[in-house]
Amino acid sequence: MISQRSSLATLLLLGSFLAPVSSSNIPAQAQVIDQKAFNVLATTQPPAEFNAKSLFVPPGSTGDSLAQQPFHVYDEEFLKIIGDAPTLTRIAHSPKDPIFHEAVVWSKETDEVFFVQNAGAKDAGTGLQKSAIIEKISLADAAAVSDKSDAAGLVNVTTVPSSPTILNPNGATNYRGQIVFAGEGQGDNEPPALWVMNPKSPFNATVILNNYFGRQFNSLNDIAIHPSSKDIYFTDTIYGYAQDFRPAPGLQEQVYRFNPDTGAVTVVADGFDHPNGFTFSPDGKHAYVADTGIDSGFFGLNFTRPASVYRFDVKEDGTLDNRKTFAFVHSGAPDGIHCDSLGNVYAGCGDGVHVWNPSGKLIGKIYVGSSTANFNFAGQGRMVICAETNLYYATLAAAGSYVDSEM
């Protein structure tokens, strides 16, 4: 039997954890979002008027107030992630062309971040007409303007002329001192492929995989390296077809595992609508797959389909098991997905970067007010965020989960 004194002590301890976050602990560019404030709303709109494409503005907030303090604290755990003085700076802008889209990857040796244009977007003029381009920035240039909220035009964005051209690159990650890209392919006869590119000039590129036992993949999307086995895992979905630059799919949408040393290619997970982003926990024990099933590109939206992150256990033999729903995104759909060094999970969503703790609880956002396809850490305390026509540089306390898969 628990004594009255110990029971009281337990209640006091729980009370300390349940107490609201003190405003005195909140950094200048952060704000607390009180979820109780919108548990019950006076009015709600029908799905045709308010849905996953709508920006949610909590009671007492405005679009401007959400953007002015872009680090949104949903739980005090997020304060450890952002630190005492987080910053968010817009460092580049494109009036219409979605140049800042996917494949955000840090080259540690050159201290640059690479990213790619949106392949197949009408405003990009890519797809069948031309391949999406790869670009990069210097992190030193970004850091030099991090004291500003808007430094668009002050950071040089350089086009990377891969040789040969990587056709419609999408996802990317570090790989044996180089960068491996998931290419979506182009038309009927240029298949999706995994490409390895040197991050230094002349940016020579080599295809390391372009088929599954002779069959073309559909449209490779994202890619990650297992931190222990160093095997390459990647997602294959239909967005090339859904954006009019690839033929109708010939395989179901799946997650694959590739051992580049033996050449073995295996399917490790299926049953998705549109498997998209992929990442591992820092210890490699869990894999996370983002499913953007609500969005079928030019074929339209279906808000009853997944906008979900699924978590799998990674077994010792590299197979994926015990699928569970980790998170369902309320704004847009989770696209690019990454973990920090402590196992917190981040995903690019419809209003910015959402952050969950390892149990799947939303603890915070880096809010940009628009769709964020991808982002990535650049070591300790630095992050680059791609939001289609805007590029952002953030500073915070967290560090990325970096896997270089050296030989």
- Taking alpha carbons only, the member of 356, 388, 357, 358 closest to residue 375 is 388
- What kind and span of H or E run contains 141? helix 139-144
Q: Please choose, from the candidates 224, 155, 218, the residue with its C-alpha nearest in 3D space to the C-alpha of residue 188.
A: 218
For residue 40, being part of any structural domain is answered with: no
Would you state the pLDDT for residue 12? Answer: 36
**pLDDT for position 402:** 86
Q: Rounded to the nearest 10 degrees, how much is the dihedral formed by the CA atoms of 386, 392, 394, 399?
A: 20
| Per-residue burial over 48-72, b = 16 or more CB atoms within 10 Å of its CB, e = otherwise | eeeebeeeeeeeebeeeebbebbbb
What distance in Å separates the CA atoms of residue 288 and residue 271, rounded to the nearest whole number? 14
What does the alpha-carbon distance between residue 218 and residue 164 come to, in Å, rounded to a whole number?
A: 21
Determine the pLDDT at residue 404: 73
Give the range of the structural domain holding residue 73, as residue numbers without chain letter: 30-34+58-399
Question: Measured between alpha carbons, how far is 379 from 265 in angstroms, rounded to an integer?
Answer: 30
102 within a domain of the structure (yes/no): yes
How would you write the pLDDT of the chain (407 residues) with one tens digit per residue?
A: 444 334 434 333 443 344 455 555 899 999 999 999 999 999 999 999 999 999 999 999 999 999 999 999 999 999 999 999 999 999 999 999 999 999 999 999 999 999 999 999 999 999 999 999 999 999 999 999 999 999 999 999 999 999 999 999 999 999 999 999 999 999 999 999 999 999 999 999 999 999 999 999 999 999 999 999 999 999 999 999 999 999 999 999 999 999 999 999 999 999 999 999 999 999 999 999 999 999 999 999 999 999 999 999 999 999 999 999 999 999 999 999 999 999 999 999 999 999 999 999 999 999 999 999 999 999 999 999 999 999 999 999 999 998 876 65
Q: Look at residue 305 and tell me if it is in a domain.
A: yes
Considering its fold, how many domains does the chain have in total?
A: 1
pLDDT of residue 9: 40
Q: What is the pLDDT of residue 25?
A: 85
The pLDDT, as a whole number, for residue 289 is: 98
For 45, the token pair is 């709109």
Determine, yes or no, domain membership for 6: no
When computed from its CA atoms, the radius of gyration of the chain, rounded to whole angstroms, is: 21
List, in order, residues 6 or more apart from 394 with CB less than 8 Å away. 86, 87, 88, 89, 366, 382, 383, 384, 385
Domain membership flag for residue 46: no
In-domain check, residue 12? no
User: Any idea what the CATH number is for the domain that residue 280 is in?
Assistant: 2.120.10.30
- Residues constituting the chain: 407
pLDDT of the residue at 406: 62
Q: Tell me if 276 is assigned to some domain.
A: yes
Residue 315 located in a structural domain: yes
From the CB of residue 388, how many other CB atoms can be counted at a distance below 10 Å? 22
